Amino acid sequence: MPPKPWTTRASREVYRNKWISVREDLAELPDGRTTIYGVVTMGRAVGVLPFLPDGRVLMVRQYRYVARENQRWEMPTGGIHAHETPEQGAQRELGEEIGYTAGRLTPISTFYSSKSVCDETCYLFLGHDLAPAAALPDETEDLEVAALPFDEVLDLVVRSEIRDAMTVIAVLHAARLHSG
């Protein structure tokens, strides 16, 4: 029998900006006790692992403020706008970050980035049949783009040099699909 759900007794917004909101809920457990529960809502995110015809992957790196680092490669990722489908968000992110669109997007995974405190659903795609598009990065993005051999990217994931969850999951899915 599945665990019984909790009941939200009260909820209040604590903080909001254009990327996230934070709320504090008063939750009642199945046995009647209550607890305070913090929830960070980020909405929906998308990532695309874009393949060139020769099997190399276009990767980006940028300064990541929270991790305080700028040396790790990741695939193009970002938030999905309210009016967009995951596929539309994927194409927009490809254009913004690497200056391409994908002729073919293959969905490979949908997952929760952190189901215990974050309300964010991530949609992952493989991108093929890339065509040049105008790169229009967000105002806070300063990106380096490189084409890396897929085997090198997989090795970076295995060695924990790539730590971005969306990239790790997409690369492992791509490796599984490639070997199967």
Q: Which residues are catalytic?
A: 139
- At residue 178 the predicted structure's pLDDT band, cuts being 50, 70 and 90, is confident
- Characterise 51 by phi-psi region: left (phi > 0), alpha (psi -120 to 50), beta (else): beta
The set of residues, in sequence order, having a beta carbon less than 8 Å from that of 82 and lying 6+ positions away, is 43
How buried is residue 103: exposed, middle or buried, by Cβ count under 10 Å (0-12/13-18/19+)?
A: exposed
- At residue 96 the predicted structure's pLDDT band, cuts being 50, 70 and 90, is very high
Both structure tokens of 155: 């090795």
- At residue 69 the predicted structure's pLDDT band, cuts being 50, 70 and 90, is confident
Quote the DSSP letter at residue 99: S
Instruction: Encode pLDDT of 19-53 as tens digits.
Output: 899 999 999 999 999 999 999 999 899 999 999 99
Q: What pLDDT is attached to residue 64? A: 83
Question: What's the one-letter identity of residue 172?
Answer: L
Query: Residue 65 pLDDT more than 90?
Result: no
**CB of 123 closer than 8 Å to CB of 94:** no
Angle between helix 150-158 and helix 165-179 axes, rounded to 10 deg: 120
- Provide mean pLDDT across the span 96-109: 96
Q: Assign 3-class secondary structure to 3-68.
A: CCCCEEEEEEEEEECCCCEEEEEEEECCCCCEEEEEEEEEEEEEEEEEECCCCEEEEEECCECCCC
Query: Residue 180 pLDDT more than 60?
Result: no
Rounded to whole angstroms, the Cα distance separating 30 from 64 reads: 40
Q: What pLDDT is attached to residue 156? A: 97
Domains (range + CATH), the chain: 43-179 (3.90.79.10)
Q: What pLDDT is attached to residue 137? A: 65
Q: How high does pLDDT run on average in the chain?
A: 93
Residue 6 main-chain phi, psi, to 5 deg:
-90, 160
Query: Residue 177 pLDDT more than 60?
Result: yes
Q: Decide the pairing of beta strands 118-132 and 34-50.
A: parallel
Residues counted in the chain: 180
Query: Residue 88 pLDDT more than 90?
Result: yes
